[in-house]
Structure 1
Amino acid sequence: MRAPDAVFADPRLAVLYDAFDDDRSDLEVYAAIVEELDAHRVVDVGCGTGCLAVLLAERGLEVVGVDPAVASLGVARSKPYSDGVTWVEGDATALAGRVSGADLAMMTGNVAQVFVDDADWVLTLGAIRGVLAGGGWFVFETRRPEVRDWETWEVPETARIHPDGKRSVVSRTVTEVALPLVTFESVTVMDGDVIESASTLRFREYDELVHDLDTHGFDVVEVRDAPDRPGKEWVFLARVRG
């Protein structure tokens, strides 16, 4: 699978991720889904800096967080309740032989869209199916392509103040729209360094997602609106068939 983007993998950027993306009101909604589904063993795929994983661990759940970005996992491990999470470095395939019988696997944020290649997406779905118990759930969000939300992603050079008082200047540019792929580049200037991060997301159609889930043994039980981007995303609740 492709290496994680610098915004997650570069230690200079990973440590700032939570400070600059501090509106995580969606996490309580996902925590409520965990409770609604009566899940006790949860796998957070693409856990990043661990915001959701530690929130669930604080509530006494058995949680596994997996992510290929070592720098992001380093931030996650520094948080309160992180000792209640089993952290795994790697993509979802790294869970094989380590995790089984989970009640729920989740992918929040843009995680489901970073798998731009069909082969990577297939491997990920298979790996998630492999860690779930019979009747287990897979919950993930993904952006709706018809909304064309990338048209709002441009960010001019903007000064940001860090929690420690330091200053950086950030910008973001959409460099290519070749559906189903959208590529954008972020630039952060900090302490005299110019740190670039290129990202590509894949916008899968609704029917494509249903087909892929069906192929891997999931039934789509419900599709909801995203809590933090209403009207712009789908939240799939799929269950292991049989």
Structure 2
Amino acid sequence: MKTAVIFDLDGTLVDSSPDIAAALNKAFAPWGVSELTAPEVLGMLGGGPRALIAQALTAIDGPLDDESLDEALARYSAEYLAAPSAKTEFFADAAKVIPKLAARGLKLGICTNKRTELADLLLEHLGVRAYFSALVGVDRAAYPKPHPMHLEQTMAELDVTPEECVYVGDTAIDQSTARAAGVRYTHVAWGHEIEGNDTRLECFEDLMPIVEPPGSPPTV
């Protein structure tokens, strides 16, 4: 029986693409380039802020030299920090299932390539921060995803082993991270297409038989 569930954040638990798109468009405005939509941005998430900036500028034919990337990242960071959660919402039934998992005694964590401060603000805004005992953003990870040490650090903070843990994500980066760390991976149905036969979650309620197999005693 599993004793911990660790989640990716953007694209897995929450749809933050409207707020991220707004911040990107404000950051890129001085260059007079076309604006990005939330669905376009959603497909770019998962690799961390600098990778996001590079993908976004490529998509709109913006400048890609190092100086421009640094400038865009700084402007984006300021814009996003100023308004990180105005339009961000949970995917599927996350708001209901997170408290349900915690009530069954499961340890919950976040392993994300989002910066820790922003992840913390989002979870507070959505009213679920208190349920997560570990939150390891890209800035707290010595080696961020897809390196397994990012997930291993999150497990260490929860005091669980790979055998006791499930990792839930939405990208091939998440899948690779989990496999390298020896952790069971589950992929949300609204995520990116991936290869392999990993468990697919149509909703977060689908986690319940994974963490509490039929016939197992209740945890609370």
TM-score (norm 2): 0.41
Q: Where is the strand percentage greater, Structure 1 or Structure 2? A: 1
Higher RCO (CA-CA < 8 Å; seq separation 6+)? 2
TM-score (norm 1): 0.38
